[in-house]
Chains A and B, each alone.
Chain A
Amino acid sequence: MNRPETELDQQLADLLRDAVADVEPADRLADVRARIPERSTRRWAAITGGSALAVAATVTAIALASQPSAPDTDGNIANEPEPTPDMSAVPAYFVGQTPTGERLYREFQQVPDAVTGLAGLGLLESGPADPDYSSLWPDGSFEDQLSDPEAGVVHVYLTDEAPAEPSDLALQQVVYTVGAGFQEPLDVAFHRGGSVLATVERAPQLDTLSLVSLSDPSEGQQVSGTLDVNGVANSYEANVLWRLVAGGEEIDGGYFTAEGYMGEKLFPFAGDIDVSSLAPGTYTLIVETSDGSGGTEGPGAYSDSRSFVIE
């Protein structure tokens, strides 16, 4: 087919080429260049300086602890730990640092028998798998009292273990986690000692959440061949920059495109990274928002990171 074989082929080729022969596109090279995300190397150097190594050192223990029921079949490493039938991925929101102060990151953990949308509250008590995050709710903060949402409100009962005066961010940790559990935005009525402490509605996403949050890989995940990445972000031009780091050194990088940007929410992004040539060891994936100014304006990039293991 490289050379049209028949007279008809030749004539159709002539007609199609002629049909666009007068199309003279404008020169867009400058536009293309302007849309390529800044690599923000300086900030990057700061990140890799120490924290990545510290993260890597803590990973292995956490990986073991957070996958209690994933059968470890040697040499047969699935990209995602295969949950046993009764396990489900439960979202919870944890607190982490961002350029605009503490905000919430969404993390999924495998939980057995998560029968209720309130299952995420147990994760707020037991804490995040990612060592960069923390929870503002100590163990035993919530009473084991199940309730279903009614008229857009769900009731959450606090014990004396819970903070006496939970901060706004702590309350939003619960509001976002419960909303994700029931898969709808809900107001939360906080009860303590028989009275309602407060009824709290969900705060705007772009004021509350980190503007980028990884869902996969999970912390300490074992990976071979391809690293599947997905998460949510609200980033300039929908560009989500990624870097792979080992031993404080960047070994690969690129970017994903989210399904949107601007608006009032985070948009999903997904992609895969070929890791088939990486030697066994622990690596860190870092994703970053792009602000379009190369870091010269605004608060700087939001980022999230996960460590994963090549065996």
Chain B
Amino acid sequence: MHSHATAAPAPIAVNDEPATWDADTALEQLYALHWRSLVRLAVLVVRDQAQAEEIAQDAFIALHARWRRLRDPDKALAYLRQTVVNRSRSALRHRAVVHRHVQATGSAGPVDLPGSDETAVASERRARVLTALQALPDRQREVMALRYYAGLSEAEIADALGISRGAVKSHASRGAAALRATLTDYLEDRS
């Protein structure tokens, strides 16, 4: 699904053992690898791209601050995702402010892009998926994003959100059911 040819810049050739990185190296390496996917993860939760970029930036700054104390540097990506989702949730609490900001700056998500017919169909589909996500309760939306976009396991989601596996299971099934209902046009019943 990652059809874009504009790949993230290749990581600079350094020791690829995260445990040996200092905070600055970790920042560069992890940014090169994960910047785009973390912004996209945030877009799924907060929708607004400018805000998603802010949130992802905050996550990298938090990682840099914490690097020396991160017990397991191999878990850096998990930490980044967790920070993105948590900060996205906080950001949504300030929705009204955000909306004013978006209007004032003219910044907008991908949904408003005009284009050819084919592009328009894709844009419409993307907009409807994002709208369907927005309609979910916060936790369900977070679980949907971590499960279907980031591909996390139930245990990993439970860890990232600080909730039980049972709660993840419940949010996942309700969220999926709700999306199935609202996105029925785009889902083929092959069962």
Partner of A25, one of B1, B52, B148: B52
- Contact indicator A17/B6 (Cβ below 8 Å): no
- Contact indicator B183/A29 (Cβ below 8 Å): no
- Contact indicator B69/A274 (Cβ below 8 Å): yes
- The segment out of A3-11, A46-54, A279-287, A291-299 that lies at the interface is A3-11
- Contact indicator B125/A18 (Cβ below 8 Å): yes
CA distance A252 to B41 in the complex (A): 32
Q: Write the B169-182 contact mask toward A (1 if CB under 8 angstroms, else 0).
A: 00010001001100
- Contact indicator A17/B149 (Cβ below 8 Å): yes
**Distance to closest chain B CB from A261 (angstroms):** 15
Partner of A29, one of B2, B35, B122: B35
Residue of B nearest to A37 (CB): B65
- Contact indicator B60/A7 (Cβ below 8 Å): no
Q: Write the B140-161 contact mask toward A (1 if CB under 8 angstroms, else 0).
A: 0000110111011110010000
Residue of A nearest to B152 (CB): A1
Q: Is A164 close to B, CB under 8 A?
A: no
Given A12-B176, A17-B149, A35-B61 in contact, is the A254-B39 Cβ separation under 8 Å? Answer: no
Q: Is A23 close to B, CB under 8 A?
A: yes
- Contact indicator A32/B154 (Cβ below 8 Å): no
B1, B144, B172 — which one has the most chain A CB atoms within 10 A of its CB? B1
CA distance A36 to B65 in the complex (A): 8
Interface residue total, chain A, C-beta cutoff 8 A:
36
Given A18-B1, A18-B125 in contact, is the A13-B148 Cβ separation under 8 Å? Answer: yes
- Contact indicator A21/B2 (Cβ below 8 Å): yes
In the assembled complex, which residues on chain A have CB atoms less than 8 Å from the CB atom of B187?
A: 8, 11-12, 15
In the assembled complex, which residues on chain A have CB atoms less than 8 Å from the CB atom of B35?
A: 25, 27-29
- Contact indicator A21/B180 (Cβ below 8 Å): no
- Contact indicator A8/B180 (Cβ below 8 Å): yes
In the assembled complex, which residues on chain B have CB atoms less than 8 Å from the CB atom of A3?
A: 151
Q: Is B94 close to A, CB under 8 A?
A: no
Residues 121 to 152 of chain B near chain A (Cβ within 8 Å): 122, 125-126, 129-130, 133, 144-145, 147-149, 151-152
CA distance A104 to B52 in the complex (A): 40
**Distance to closest chain A CB from B106 (angstroms):** 15
Residue of B nearest to A13 (CB): B148
CA distance A9 to B145 in the complex (A): 12
Given A18-B125, A23-B39 in contact, is the A12-B179 Cβ separation under 8 Å? Answer: yes
Name 15 extra pairs, CB < 8 A, besides A9-B176, A36-B61, A255-B65. A1-B152, A1-B153, A9-B148, A12-B144, A12-B179, A15-B129, A15-B148, A16-B133, A16-B149, A20-B41, A21-B4, A22-B4, A22-B113, A23-B110, A27-B35
Q: Which 8 A-B pairs have the closest CB atoms?
A: A19-B129, A20-B40, A25-B39, A17-B1, A13-B148, A16-B148, A19-B126, A1-B153
Question: Could you name 17 residue pairs across A and B whose Cβ atoms are closer than 8 Å?
Answer: A1-B172, A17-B2, A18-B122, A19-B44, A19-B126, A21-B126, A22-B113, A22-B126, A25-B40, A27-B35, A28-B56, A29-B35, A32-B27, A36-B61, A252-B69, A253-B68, A254-B69
